[in-house]
Amino acid sequence: MHTSDGASTLLPSQLQGHARLVGSTLLATTSSVPGVRALAVERNGRRHLWLSNQTPSPVEITLAGAQAGVGRVLDETSFAALCGDPAGWSVLARPATPLTLGPYAVAEIDLA
């Protein structure tokens, strides 16, 4: 998420998600979508992808070379619910494709 001065911030749910990555193997990944950053890891035989839309516009995401399973998206529609229940990150689970990331949205995708 971004503050009014453009600085990036992390919510507790994002910190929890990234904390789960400790001990993971970092995988090579890139995003062909301008302004979208990607982080891919493997842990215990499972692969996870984090995507961050760092632009003020929505973007359509297509995963090449990977089959998406379940995804969770933090955006303007899920933000308020997540603030009311920081443990609710798992409640946001939904099929990961098709995927549109709203402005400054973050997605965590479990790859099949």
In CATH, which of 2.60.40.1180, 3.60.60.10, 3.30.300.180, 2.160.10.10 is domain 12-111? 2.60.40.1180
3-state secondary structure of 83: helix
User: What residue has token string 């990234």?
Assistant: 18
Sheet with 106-111: strands ordered across: 25-27, 36-43, 46-53, 106-111, 68-74, 94-95
Q: Which residue has the higher pLDDT, 18 or 68?
A: 68
So where are the chain's domains?
A: 12-111
What is the average pLDDT across 33-51?
A: 90
3-state secondary structure of 103: coil
Q: Per-residue confidence at 59, pLDDT binned at 50, 70, 90?
A: very high
Q: What is d(CA 38, CA 107) in angstroms, rounded to the nearest whole number?
A: 10
The amino acid that residue 38 corresponds to is A
Q: What is d(CA 21, CA 91) in angstroms, rounded to the nearest whole number?
A: 19
Q: DSSP assignment, residue 82? A: H
pLDDT for 10 beyond 60: no
Q: Which residue has the higher pLDDT, 44 or 9?
A: 44
User: What are 13-26's pLDDT values in tens digits?
Assistant: 455 555 667 777 88
Q: What is the mean pLDDT of the chain?
A: 76
